[in-house]
């Protein structure tokens, strides 16, 4: 575990070590994580996801769309036991890994659903619907915003092109019921590059669509 992990997460960082071993071992062996990603597993993946965790609402219901190997969902579940996580993954092998990982990590409150986001409309909704490295923001808006409870948010973990994606997705965000969009960065003093998060709020009362930028 790198020193940056404890600097960012304090004593909670140790909770991620068993999951890191699963990613570097079974997940990498099954092709769920590229071999070049293993040496940078902590800073590029685990801490990239963990940097935002304290901004999640207490006790929130969360859908992790296209969870893959469990990023960010399993990271958030390990760091925040108060959260209720549903990991959504359409591919059989990945869904199988998620179930075995959740069991091995003792995450009894984590549910794995094998489905695409579009198939969950009308069946699932959440306070936060999250996606990391899944699709451009415009596509995420179409598939994820219908799953957000009124007053909740879609969280898209993005890279340096986040502002461009927000601009290109303007119409899709409005059609999806977004009332406000913010771009926030996390872990600037620890992570290079820092985590970039696009937060899209869905209001219970239709309002003016706004774009903003904030940092932490």
Q: What would the pLDDT profile of 171-210 be if each residue is shown by its tens digit?
A: 999 888 888 999 999 999 999 999 999 999 997 654 444 4
Of 33, 15, 40, residue with least CA distance to 71: 33
Identify the residue whose tokens are 């965790």.
53
pLDDT value of position 215? 47
pLDDT tens track for 110-130:
999 999 999 999 899 999 999
Residue 35: what pLDDT?
A: 81
Position 214 scores a pLDDT of: 47
Domains of the chain: 3-213 (3.40.50.150)
Q: Predicted confidence band at 162 (pLDDT cuts at 50, 70, 90)? A: very high
* Rounded-to-integer distance, Cα 47 and Cα 9, Å: 8
pLDDT given at position 206: 47
Query: Would you call 140 helix, strand, or coil by DSSP?
Result: helix
Q: For residue 86, which phi and psi values (nearest 5 degrees)?
A: -120, 120
CA-nearest of 148, 141, 212 to 180 is 212
pTM of the model as a whole: 0.91
Mean pLDDT over 24-45 rounds to 89
Q: 201 - beta bridge partners?
A: 153, 180
The share of the chain scoring above pLDDT 90, in percent, equals 78
Q: Can you tell me the distance from the alpha carbon of 181 to that of 117, in angstroms, rounded to the nearest whole number?
A: 21
As given in the structure block, the two tokens for residue 40 are 């940078």
Please report the sign of the dihedral spanned by the C-alpha atoms of residue 200, residue 205, residue 209, residue 211: negative
């Amino acid at each position: 575990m790198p020193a940056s992990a404890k600097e960012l997460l304090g004593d909670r960082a140790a909770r991620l070590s068993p999951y890191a071993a699963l990613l570097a071992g079974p997940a990498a062996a099954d092709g769920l994580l590229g071999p070049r990603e293993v040496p940078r597993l902590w800073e590029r993946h685990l801490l990239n996801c963990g940097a935002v965790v304290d901004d999640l609402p207490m006790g929130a219901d969360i859908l992790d769309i296209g969870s893959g190997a469990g990023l960010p969902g399993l990271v958030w579940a390990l760091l925040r036991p108060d959260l209720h996580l549903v990991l959504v993954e359409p591919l059989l092998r990945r869904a199988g890994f998620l179930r075995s990982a959740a069991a091995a990590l003792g995450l009894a409150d984590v549910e794995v659903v094998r489905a695409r986001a579009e198939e969950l409309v009308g069946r699932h909704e959440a306070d936060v619907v999250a996606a990391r490295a899944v699709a451009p923001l415009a596509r995420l808006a179409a598939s994820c915003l219908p799953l957000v409870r009124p007053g909740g948010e879609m969280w898209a973990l993005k890279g340096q092109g986040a502002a461009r994606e927000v601009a290109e997705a303007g119409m899709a965000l409005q059609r999806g019921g977004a009332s406000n969009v913010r771009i926030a960065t996390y872990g600037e003093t620890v992570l290079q590059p820092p985590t970039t998060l696009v937060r899209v709020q869905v209001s219970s009362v239709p309002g003016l669509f706004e774009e903003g930028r904030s940092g932490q």
